[in-house]
């Protein structure tokens, strides 16, 4: 793990210049982030939980904006943005890719739930578009963090899916899939990185935690490895 990642046992957090105005947490298997009792126990002194805001996730590319009027409202969508202080956002995943977006200049944040469907719908750039419209976010000021999720080491997919993504990103030099023993493995990390870069996020501002949930299923929930578990990794962010 990169040294910017700090392991607090119940969750990981990030220490990086420019991110001092936010609190970030990505939970381990010590807690199920779908469970409010677990959240309250671990985060009562970390986040302003009375304002916790999340989506009803539906594998879409819908981005919801949280402002003073709709704090805590739960509606369909797979990304969530805010520039309100003391309003923690939460995205739930288990193998799908959680992406954290931080506008370090205009002080706005976004969380993205990017499974293959959301990734295919370019939900990362949809979220950056919403942040641009709402907060005048410039991509060159954005730090993006790719959290624990299934890596190309383990994410076996059909050839159809490989074809679909190759058509989506025809001009990419980096490998977005692997072939091993005649099986196809998709690289959702690299695909989301390419989508972020295409929108103008700087490579030096993209932090891939490089943690595969399937390889590290002792510490992170994996839908595939844990037999379709209902438990989830929580990715939290709050502007202090």
What residues make contact with Zn ion under the rule CB under 5 A?
151, 153-154, 212, 214-215
- The CB density around residue 134, as the number of other CB atoms within 10 Å, is 17
Say whether 123 sits in a helix, a strand or coil. Answer: helix
User: How many angstroms from the chain centroid is the CA of residue 151?
Assistant: 14
Name the residue nearer to Zn ion (CB basis): 105 or 215. 215
Report the residue number whose CB is nearest to Zn ion: 212
Name the residue nearer to Zn ion (CB basis): 23 or 149. 149
Q: Which two tokens stand for residue 180?
A: 């091993």
Report, in Å, the least distance between residue 154 CB and Zn ion: 3
DSSP conformational letter for 220: S
Name the residue nearer to Zn ion (CB basis): 88 or 148. 148
The angle subtended at Cα 77 by Cα 72 and Cα 78, nearest 5°, is 105
CB 139 within 8 A of CB 201: yes
**Exposed / middle / buried, residue 198 (Cβ in 10 Å: 0-12, 13-18, 19+):** middle
Name the residue nearer to Zn ion (CB basis): 155 or 165. 155
Report, in Å, the least distance between residue 198 CB and Zn ion: 25
Report, in Å, the least distance between residue 185 CB and Zn ion: 9
The angle subtended at Cα 85 by Cα 134 and Cα 199, nearest 5°, is 35
Report, in Å, the least distance between residue 213 CB and Zn ion: 8
Name the residue nearer to Zn ion (CB basis): 137 or 222. 222
Report, in Å, the least distance between residue 161 CB and Zn ion: 17
């Amino acid at each position: 793990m990169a040294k910017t990642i700090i392991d607090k046992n119940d969750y990981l957090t990030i220490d990086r210049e420019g991110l001092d105005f936010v609190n970030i947490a990505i939970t381990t298997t010590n807690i199920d982030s779908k469970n409010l009792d677990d959240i309250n126990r671990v985060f009562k002194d970390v986040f302003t939980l009375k304002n916790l805001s999340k989506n009803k996730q539906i594998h879409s590319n819908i981005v919801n904006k949280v402002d003073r009027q709709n704090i805590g409202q739960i509606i369909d969508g797979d990304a969530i943005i805010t520039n309100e202080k003391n309003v923690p956002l939460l995205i739930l995943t288990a193998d799908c890719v959680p992406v954290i977006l931080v506008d370090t200049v205009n002080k706005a944040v976004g969380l993205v739930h990017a499974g293959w469907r959301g990734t295919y719908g370019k939900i990362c750039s949809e979220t950056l578009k919403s942040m641009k419209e709402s907060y005048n976010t410039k991509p060159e000021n954005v730090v993006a963090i790719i959290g624990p999720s299934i890596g190309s080491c383990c994410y076996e997919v059909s050839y159809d899916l490989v074809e679909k993504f190759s058509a989506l990103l025809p001009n990419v030099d980096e490998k977005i899939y692997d072939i091993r023993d005649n099986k196809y493995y998709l690289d959702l990390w690299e695909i989301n990185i390419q989508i972020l870069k295409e929108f103008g996020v700087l490579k030096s501002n993209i932090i891939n935690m490089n943690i595969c949930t399937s390889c590290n299923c002792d510490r992170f929930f994996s839908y595939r490895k844990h037999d379709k578990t209902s438990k989830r990794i929580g990715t939290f962010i709050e502007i202090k």
